[in-house]
Structure formats: C-alpha cells, structure tokens
Amino acid sequence: MIGRFIEKAGWPRIIIALFLLGLFIAAPFVGVRVDTSLSNTLVRFGMNGVMVLAMIPMVQAGCGLNFGLPLGIIAGLLGATLSIEWNVEILAKLVAWGSQYQITWLTQEFVDTWREPLGFASAVIIAVPIAAVLGWFYGKLLNRVKGDEMMIATYVGFSSVSFMCIAWLLLPYKHPSMVWGFAGRGLRTTISVEGYWLHVLSDALSVNIGDHLYIPTGMLIFFAVMALAVWIFMRTKTGTAITAVGSNPEFARASGVNVDKMRTISVVMSTVLGAIGIIVYEQSFGFIQLYMGPFYMALPAVASILLGGASVNKASILNVIVGTFLFQGILTMTPSVINSYLQTDMSEVIRLIVSNGMILYALTRKVRA
C-alpha cells in the first residue's frame, strides 16, 4: 500500500511535502509562530485557488497549460475597475428597482448594509461576460494552431498585458480613487478596494483561534463551491466530451463530438475562472494591480497544478488543492524560517528564489515527462 502511494504521488512531490512539514516543525525553534504561518498559508491558498482551478478545463481538453491566463485576469480587472467606477450608479439602480417593483426588502438600508458583498458580486457579474467573449476569441485562435497551443497562449498572455498597459491609460475612467490625480485620467498602478469589497470573502464566517490562528472560512468555502462546480461540470455530457477530446481527439470526432466546439468551451471556462479568481485574490490582497500585474500570475498557477501532480494532458481538483497548498505553503514558510534563523531580512530575495525555483522545477519536470 505504501509502495503504491509512493508510486502514485512520486518521490519529488513527497520530498516537497516533507520539506514543507520540516519547515513547520523547525518554525518554533527559530522563533516563528506555527499558527501564524498556517494562517498565512491558508489565506494564500484561498487567494490563489480559483486561478489554479482555471487550469483544469483547458488541460482536460488537450489545450495544454493555460499560459494565456492573463487574458482572463484582464477580464477580472475590467470587471473590478468598472464595478468601482459604476458603484454609486449600480447601488442607486438597485434601490430604484426595489421601489419600482415594490420589493420591500430592497431598500437603501439594505444596500448600505450589503454594500461590500454587492460590490464584489457586481465585479464578478461584469467580469464574467467580458471573460466569456475574450475566451471565445482565444479558443478560436487555439483551434487554428493545434499542437502549438502553449506557445501561442504565452504570446496571447504577453501581448494582452502589453496592450492593456496602453488601454489602462486611455480608457475614460473618472473615479477619483482610481485615476492619476495630476492628470485626471489614466488608471493608477494599484487601486485600493477598501470600502468596496475588502476581505468580503476572507472575513465572512472567519474563525479566530487564540490570537494568531485565523481561518478565512468564507474564502475557502467559495473555493470549495467553485471546485465543486468544476467537478460537476466535468462529469456532465459536455464535460465528458471535453475530456474525450483531450484524451483522443480522433476517437472523439469519430464518435460525433464537435472537437473544436469542446475546445472552445474549455477555453471560455478557463478564462471565466481566471477572471473570478483575480477578483477573489484582490478582495484578500486589498488592491487591484494593473499594467504588468497580470503578467506575473500565470506561471505560479501553472507551477502549482504541476506540483500537485497534474500533467499537460490531465488535471484534477486534487491536483489543484495539493499543488496550491504546497506552492503557497513553501512560499510562505521558507522566507520566515530562513530570516529568523539568519537574523536578517532577506524575505524578498528568498521569495523570488523559492518561487522561481518551484516554477522552474515544475515546468522542466513535466517537459521531460
């Protein structure tokens, strides 16, 4: 039984898990609180989980690892910024609808009480159709370059971020908390979500054990709901067809499956999940990061699912959970333990080395596989 587990998990993944466990064991001996470190790991897991989940549909459809994830993230950033831009108008319309259609509970008092959840929901609602449209075009492009999907996806991710660096300066936003004050136009590099949906998921049903252990229950539940939705979808007729296309496209085509359509659906789904994922990330992080921000989000998500045991042709919810926890756990624990042991602040250097090292390991190992 142990041998079967080792064979299935693989020694590299077991070694990484043991390394993370060793960091937690060593933490108290160098003055790092285990409960605080565990809290930080859980928070980072919840922040990044949905973006890693966005890898599954495209992998299952045979489109490879989604290096074009920044396209979905851009849709999420558009939804977030437009939600803030239209915040007052959206809330006012809700109150007006409540009065017009005699919805007794939809009052100004209700809107004020639920302002942050409504802001988060509006960001998601705006982002999803944008992501669906972008994903549809992205899917059509990938259908024309079968066999080179990951190379083209990398180009799409890079070029879309570069294009939006110009667009963020030119789009006609006017909200004073978002635009550059000296120019009156063009969005800032970072935009605070405080007062809009800061920690709206993280603090929902959150649990505090003692003074240092914090469990972001709402964010973890949201991830669980999204993971369950993906799991259920992949077991529907459409989801089964997507998996068949990824496993053997010729057999799927002979069975009457529209291969290109299934691939496009998977790309749309991945793009939508990426858009939702970045909004979840923002509500916990506290800021919307524009310009080059989306460019640095794809590789950690790819590395996480690969560390969890996925391949370029097959991925599961378990791969997402294991990989995200391992990646974020090591990224959280390594700088803290080493800094405390060396009595110096090298956190940023160590974080870059560890994160890029895990990304490099994950990608090179899967290429050889």
Q: Which long-range contacts (CB under 8 A, 24 or more apart) does 243-249 make?
A: 243/60, 243/61, 245/61, 245/62, 246/59, 246/60, 246/61, 246/62, 246/63, 246/313, 246/314, 247/62, 247/313, 249/62
Q: What pLDDT, on a 0 to 100 scale, did the predictor assign at position 104?
A: 80
Q: Phi and psi dihedrals of 215, rounded to 5?
A: -115, 115
Give CA angle at 267 (262, 268), nearest 5°: 95
Decide if 364 is inside a domain.
no
Q: How many domains does the chain have?
A: 1
Decide if 106 is inside a domain.
yes
Decide if 349 is inside a domain.
yes
287's CB contacts (< 8 A; 6+ apart) are 190, 191, 192, 193
Q: Rounded to an integer, what distance in angstroms lies between the CA atom of residue 151 and that of residue 216?
A: 37
Least Cα distance to 77 among 362, 242, 229, 285 occurs for: 285
Q: What pLDDT, on a 0 to 100 scale, did the predictor assign at position 10?
A: 67
Q: Rounded to an integer, what distance in angstroms lies between the CA atom of residue 216 and that of residue 354?
A: 25
Decide if 322 is inside a domain.
yes
Rg of the chain in Å (alpha carbons): 22
Q: Rounded to an integer, what distance in angstroms lies between the CA atom of residue 220 and that of residue 46?
A: 5
Decide if 14 is inside a domain.
yes
Is residue 64 within 8 A of residue 156, CB to CB? The reply is: no
Q: What pLDDT, on a 0 to 100 scale, did the predictor assign at position 349?
A: 67
pTM value surpassing 0.85:
yes
**Residue 291's domain spans which residues?**
9-21+28-355
Q: Rounded to an integer, what distance in angstroms lies between the CA atom of residue 294 and that of residue 183?
A: 24
Decide if 348 is inside a domain.
yes
Q: Phi and psi dihedrals of 186, rounded to 5?
A: 85, 130
Write out the DSSP string of 61-89. TT--S-TTHHHHHHHHHHHHHHHHHTHHH
- Tens place of pLDDT for every residue, the chain, 369 residues? 666 766 666 667 777 888 888 888 888 888 888 888 899 999 999 999 999 999 999 999 988 888 889 999 999 999 999 999 998 888 888 888 888 887 888 888 888 888 899 899 999 999 999 999 999 999 999 999 888 888 888 889 899 999 999 999 999 998 888 998 766 678 999 999 998 999 999 999 889 988 888 999 999 999 999 999 999 999 999 999 999 999 888 888 988 899 999 999 999 999 999 999 999 999 999 999 999 989 888 888 988 898 888 888 889 999 999 999 998 988 888 888 887 877 776 666 666 777 677 777 766 654 444
Decide if 328 is inside a domain.
yes
Decide if 75 is inside a domain.
yes
